[in-house]
Amino acid sequence: MSVPLLSPAHPARTGPVRGSITVDVMTNTRDDFWCVIPAGGAGTRLWPLSRAGSPKFLHDLLGSGRTLIQATVDRLTPLAGERLLVVTGRRHAEAVAAQLPEVPSDRILAEPSPRDSMAAIGWAAAVIERHNPEAIIGSFAADHVVGDPETFRAMVSEAVAVARHDYVVTLGIRPTYPATGFGYIHEGASLEYDDAPHARSVVQFVEKPDAVTARRYVGTGEFRWNAGMFVVKARVLLDLLAQWHPDLAAGLRRIAAEPERLEQEWDALEKIAIDHAVAEPAADEGRVAVVRCDVPWDDIGDFHSLAGLLAVAARDDDADAAASDLYTVGPADVLGIDSTGIVASRSDRLVSVVGVEDIVVVDTPDALLVTTRGRAQHVKKVVDRLKAEGRTDLT
């Protein structure tokens, strides 16, 4: 049911490094919508569970039976079907392919090196643009957790409708607490689209705030969490990029047109986040919209966040589950006495915790971490120290 498209010059090849795509024959109005899943980031603050060589999107952190990238694909398949591209690091392409057997291997774009989110998403956009310049792409990170998938997909559909008007559309998550770990979107007036009643203009994107500012943001009701989800026409994205970063846009389009140029061009691409490259300057020009998306969401940035998600999941499963229980990740053999927190184990050892509150224990074959939920952000310091000491086998 899929036909090869694009790039007659593209040589036949196997393996994960690809720059061409095949697409379904279009059959309905949504067939111009493509999902792009950037799968990157080491998840440093989830060390030693998440490593450079085994990043968090490859893990089933919530014990759902699906890894984060699998759950991401599951969530988006009802919208995009097979129109899905994963962009990941070359070292992870094989693992990604193994976890996503339903995704044809030429839908997995393998980056020769990490060049940040603009290059990753822009590469996918350029590939899709060559197929259909008016195609709309939605970019969703491989390692986030999203609840209420029906509502989520309805909001993505609204975002697609708004993107048809050449907006860059972001999904704005309703803040449930004054988080200081996320950026915020300052929303403006409703865009009054009948097919996108939750769409509003964006006043601006704002950086991660301090605690006082975060409380103010949440208090006004005019701020949303920026979950890094963007819905935009492939052509619009690249044209906007060309406006502010012409070399990057041109490089990505050349690679899409001539995939054999990947090795030669990639490492010279500008390393920049999509937020800074396009979203923020486009917002200043009134080109960005936000769709209010009231679903549970988290980027599982650290073990504190993970423990909170596990507590929520436990309450969903068991009304009696206490917020102050001890939660486990993995098939851990845990003996807890008077303890709360989280134990993640990738070993078959007994892990016993006695009289510790909000503890975080992560047991892996070559590294053990003990910290607390309150210090979860500081786990990054361990990774920094290990890197400084040249112990990259552990990072």
Q: CA-to-CA distance for 289 and 319, rounded, in angstroms?
A: 38
Among 381, 387, 388, 390, binds its own copies (CB under 8 A): 381
Which segment (15-23, 65-73, 199-207, 334-342) binds its own copies by CB under 8 A?
A: 334-342
Taking only Cα atoms into account, the Rg of the chain, rounded to an integer number of angstroms, comes to 21
Which segment (117-125, 214-222, 251-259, 335-343) binds its own copies by CB under 8 A?
A: 335-343
Check residue 367 for interaction with its own copies (CB under 8 A).
yes
Centre a 10 Å sphere on the Cβ of residue 28 and count the other Cβ atoms it contains.
7
Identify whether the C-beta of residue 377 lies closer than 8 Å to the C-beta of residue 45. yes
Residue count, binding to its own copies (CB under 8 A): 33
Check residue 163 for interaction with its own copies (CB under 8 A).
no
Check residue 386 for interaction with its own copies (CB under 8 A).
yes
One character per residue 22-51, x = contact with its own copies (rule: CB under 8 A) = --------------------------x---
56 or 233: whose CB is closer to its own copies?
Answer: 56
Identify whether the C-beta of residue 359 lies closer than 8 Å to the C-beta of residue 23. no
In sequence order, the 6+-apart residues with CB closer than 8 A to the CB of 381 are none
69 or 362: whose CB is closer to its own copies?
Answer: 362
274 or 379: whose CB is closer to its own copies?
Answer: 379
CA-nearest of 130, 37, 108, 125 to 79 is: 37
CA-nearest of 201, 235, 223, 47 to 130 is: 235
Check residue 374 for interaction with its own copies (CB under 8 A).
yes
Orientation angle between helical segments 246-257 and 234-244, nearest 10 degrees: 140
Check residue 263 for interaction with its own copies (CB under 8 A).
no
Check residue 331 for interaction with its own copies (CB under 8 A).
no
Q: CA-to-CA distance for 374 and 366, rounded, in angstroms?
A: 24
Rounded least distance, CB 318 to its own copies, Å: 22
One character per residue 343-362, x = contact with its own copies (rule: CB under 8 A) = ------xxxxxxxx--x-x-
72 or 371: whose CB is closer to its own copies?
Answer: 371
134 or 338: whose CB is closer to its own copies?
Answer: 338
Among 323, 331, 366, 392, binds its own copies (CB under 8 A): 366
Six-digit token pair at 153? 């997909």
CA-nearest of 100, 112, 118, 108 to 14 is: 108
| DSSP code per residue over 169-230 | EEEEEPPSS--SSS-EEEEEEE--BTTBTTEEEEEEEEPPP-HHHHHHHHHHT-EEEEEEEE
> Residues in the site for its own copies, rule: CB under 8 A?
48, 335, 337-338, 349-356, 359, 361, 363, 365-372, 374-375, 378-379, 381-382, 385-386, 391, 394
